Amino acid sequence: MELMLMLCLLALTSLLSCGLVLVLLSSVAGRVARRLTSNGGHALRWERRVKLGTLIALLAVIAFLAYRAINPADARYLEQFTEVSLRPPPASARVVERSAPYPDLRGESCSYSKIELSNADYTRLLTELEADKRLRAGTVIASEGLRSPNRKSFTRQLPGADDTRLSLQFLGDGRNVEINICTT
């Protein structure tokens, strides 16, 4: 309970600090605009406009950065494909599903993506990975509730990171692979 209270207070302090910095930056921009327009009778009006415009622009940038942190671009999931398979993604690779929640309080997180490939790329990748000794091959048994029968899977661990599991699973449809990266 104390930990949650401390985390809430830390979050509140961070929010207030960020808010004060935003207000300070917009105020400085307004003062600069007022100085530049001091010859005209509209200096106060320009100061208010610039303050508001700067504040809106800064909030928009922060909102965009937060959105990108919560919802990474497809390029991030293709990078994870490279990290797991030790190969660049084929030209036909297209991310069709994805999920990357933030880590929980213990630092555990899992990233998931489903990548669609052409039939030729799917077959070629499967053949290459079966011959690669750096990956451990296995089969995943389909259980109730899974959408497609399975499947061949490959797993590996990052050197020096025993708590990170990387896996690539070939779905039985001959076109899709699933990438999972879990840190516990």
The residue among 13, 43, 70 that closes a domain is: 70
Terminal-residue alpha carbon distance, the chain = 23
Same structural domain for residues 56 and 82? no
Instruction: For the full predicted model, state whether its pTM sits above 0.85.
Output: no
Inter-residue contact 116 to 94 (CB < 8 Å):
yes
Same structural domain for residues 101 and 177? yes
Residues 136-169 pLDDT 10s: 887 655 544 455 455 788 888 777 767 788 888 9
Q: What's the Cα-to-Cα distance from 71 to each of 11, 56, 77, rounded to whole Å?
A: 21, 22, 11
Same structural domain for residues 119 and 140? yes
Residues 51-80 pLDDT 10s: 888 888 888 988 898 887 777 788 888 888
Same structural domain for residues 140 and 115? yes
Total domains in the chain come to 2
**Domain around 7:** 2-70
**What pLDDT band is residue 116 in, cutting at 50, 70 and 90?**
very high
The residue among 26, 44, 70 that closes a domain is: 70
Same structural domain for residues 103 and 35? no
The residue among 70, 98, 123 that closes a domain is: 70
* Phi, psi (degrees; rounded to nearest 5) at 62: -65, -40
